[in-house]
Amino acid sequence: MEGLSAEEQPPVPVLLLKTQSAPGDSYHDQLTAARLPNGRRLAPIFVPVMLHQFDDAGLTLLRGLLRDQKISRHPDAAYGGLIFTSQRAVEAFTHAVNTGQSSSHLADFPIYSVGPATTRALRAVRQDSLLQVSGEHTGTGEALAHYILDDYGARYAGCPTKPPLLFLVGEQRRDIIPRTLMDPVLAADRRIEVTERVIYGTGVMESFPADFGRRLEEAAAIPRVPSVLPSRWVVVFSPTGCDSMLRGLGLLDEAGKVAPGRRDGTTFIATIGPTTRDFLIDTFGFHPDVCAAKPSPEGVLEGIAEFEAQLIS
pLDDT, averaged across the chain: 87
CATH for the stretch 12-49+205-312: 3.40.50.10090
Contact 280, 209 (CB under 8 A): no
Contact 246, 219 (CB under 8 A): no
Q: For the whole model, what pTM was predicted?
A: 0.66
Residues of the chain with CATH 3.40.50.10090: 12-49+205-312, 53-201
Residue 105 reports pLDDT greater than 60? yes
Residue 261 reports pLDDT greater than 90? no
Host H or E run for residue 9? none
pLDDT for res 258: 92
Torsion sign over Cα 150, 156, 161, 166 = negative
What single-letter DSSP state applies at residue 104? G
> For residues 109 and 98, which has the higher predicted lDDT (pLDDT)?
109
Which pLDDT band holds residue 306 (cuts at 50, 70, 90)?
very high
Pick the CATH number of 53-201 from 2.60.40.420, 3.40.50.10090, 3.30.465.10, 3.60.15.10: 3.40.50.10090
Give per-residue pLDDT as tens, 38-73. Answer: 788 899 999 999 888 899 999 999 999 999 999 998
pLDDT for res 18: 92
pLDDT for res 1: 46
Nearest partner of 109 among 72, 63, 144, 164, judged by Cα: 72
Least confident of 71-80, 86-95, 124-133, 195-204: 124-133
Could you tell me which residues come within 8 angstroms of residue 164 by beta carbon, excluding any fewer than 6 positions away? 78, 79, 80, 192, 193, 194, 195
140-167 per-residue burial string, b: 16 or more CB within 10 A, e: under 16: bbebbbebbbeebbeeeeeeeebbbbbb
Contact 185, 75 (CB under 8 A): no
pLDDT for res 5: 58
Average pLDDT over residues 287-313: 90
Host H or E run for residue 52? strand 50-54
Which pLDDT band holds residue 6 (cuts at 50, 70, 90)?
low
pLDDT for res 227: 56
Contact 80, 165 (CB under 8 A): yes
Cα–Cα distance, 135 to 141 (Å, whole number): 10
DSSP state letters, 165-184: EEEEEESS---HHHHHHT-T
Average pLDDT over residues 260-269: 87
HEC letters along 193-248? CEEEEEEEEEEECCCHHHHHHHHHHHHHCCCCCCCCCCCEEEEECCCCCHHHHHHH
Torsion sign over Cα 287, 250, 44, 116 = negative
> For residues 236 and 296, which has the higher predicted lDDT (pLDDT)?
236
Cα–Cα distance, 104 to 305 (Å, whole number): 44
Q: How far is CA 145 from CA 4, 68, 131, in A?
A: 50, 27, 19
Q: How far is CA 183 from CA 131, 167, 253, in A?
A: 28, 16, 46
What single-letter DSSP state applies at residue 307? H
Host H or E run for residue 292? none
